[in-house]
Structure 1
Amino acid sequence: MSVCKALRIAVVFAVSGFIAACNTSSPSDIGMSQGASGTASYASATLPGDADLRQVAELPAPPDTAGGTEVPIAPSDTLDVFVFQVSDLSRTVQVDPSGNINLPLIGNVQAAGKPVRVLEQEITRAYARNYLQNPQVSVTVKESSARRVTIDGEVNKAGVYQLPPTASLIDAIALGGGFSRIADTGKVYVFRQVGNQKLVALYDVSQIRSGKRANPRIYGGDVVVVFSSSSKIAFQNLKEALGLASSASRIGVGL
């Protein structure tokens, strides 16, 4: 059995049966409070946590994407560089560990840390300086390391996936092949690194689908874990789930 397959099995069994003997979960354990009618109501307050992980009612957007700011190009990103009517200069390139791409005639160009439109302008000026008259250059991000999401637990195809430019939690579940037969759609947790703090929030996908709750946006770096209907959720489960899913993502389980 390969390492990837062994770890995948470990993740599935661990997420499915996390501390089944734990029968002391309370509304605060699973990230919601109970109203007078007994239905779940979501608070804006921070929920239980510790120095390693904190549970919140709603996840904030990552700082580098708040307000719609474009995520800069990063090492390992794959870019499509298209030079209009000059096919010999158009190509797909990967940003190297130093943050550079290599293009015909102009050689290495620093790409990492720059928005796509800034890189486009720099490549255009470089070709116009010595080689082309009025070049028209377009750059698109084909694959982005900053848009990878880990989807684990009770989904049909756990793994690490490339997110489209804007993606929701429903989109992420679909990337993972939908819920498994024993999944609990009310036990979907999203983990996110915000600054130096790891945060996690609970989402009930059935409420999202019925319009009772907003469909949250998912960002690159997020980890989505779906628990089984038999799981008893306590805070320690969430820390263990994050650790297992993060380990799986490092070796590309499901890809």
Structure 2
Amino acid sequence: MLSSSILKSVFLVSCLFTTACTQHHALRSPVDADGEFYGQSGDSGHHVAHDGSQRHVFASNLNCEDSGDNYRTAHFRADHALDPSQKSKFATPPSYAFNRGIPLSPGDMLEVQIENGEGFNNEYVLNPDGSLHIPLLLPIASAGLTVQQLAEKIEMALVRAEIFRPTAARASVRVKHWAPVNIGVSGAVFNPGRVTINENSQESIVSERLSAIGDFAAKRSIVEAIRAASGIRPDAKLDQVILLRRGWQVELDLSGVMQGKPVQDVALVDGDQIIVPTTGCFQSSLARPSQVTPRGFRVFMSNLTQPANDNSGAAIGRYSSNLPYGSTLLQAAVSANCVGGTQFVNAPRKIVLSSKNPITDQMQVIERSVESLLRFPHREDINPHLMPNDAIACYDSDASNLRDIARSVSEIISPILLMF
């Protein structure tokens, strides 16, 4: 009996000693103990500092402290004019501004028939600038017109070119395929910005376009080039994108892609170079899906906590680790099954995030508790946005660790107790 009591005492002392060691070593905070993460204005971490010299961006006097609201969408009221100073100017729009029929747009494929004009009858595609090129005629501005209005302009062009007499010029236009169009959507919508609608890639339409006169290069734009480079980072200066062409440079404002406003989307040629400057600071308004940002990205997750014994059992699969762009650490923690369950045991869990700073290319590690994420989801210093290829790991709470330690020690002591 004495030996059994001694063993039980040793067992209790071992549990307490191991728990103390666990608290000091296994659950101690990572190297970035101050909890600072890149992107917070005025903050300084181990590998990055946003001091006074970085607040002003190259070629401008932009202050990074206010850059978080640069690309947010505007809100409008239905009972107020969009711009009171312009109300009288747009009170009576021109007749062609809002046609009852569907207006023509660049890329539309048309069939033009001219009476007694066999050399002109063909299928045409509106050029990127919205003009129609018919042999022997000057380019005809067609974007925004109806087919009837375009037919009248073709007749006038034939007469002005002295090819037909006014009484003999007869033209008809028929639309064979409506092309995709880019539309800016702003205001009270979930994801404002520029969207592409009416996309259609039927094989029959593609073959007809190849035989038509003219072409529409929908994917030779700056927006498409940025998208091909996996999109902009949250620190990009989107209103000052630089285009270099044959020794010349021009600055373009692409912020309308995020705001739903008109965009200077210049057509590109071979050899062009695009430079997207950095503001040196994180802009949360750029961390969402759009035409110039990633639609989604992959995050590496590990959840080897109880009650899940592996990632498969924790429901961490292909779709849960591919998150929409703009996701936060709390959303990733929920996706990794790190949140929920018994509150006393699971609320003190720790979430560790390892991320590469896109400005300095240095790895940074932060640790957050599940409780702090749930209590302060609005604070970006506690609940930061995730970046592509970030790594997330969940660690058990003190109660779970103590339980597992006691279970492990019990498995070792139990065989010894059976011997006495």
TM-score by length of 1: 0.43
TM-score by length of 2: 0.28
By percentage of residues, which structure has more strand? 1
Higher relative contact order (CA 8 A, sep 6+): 1
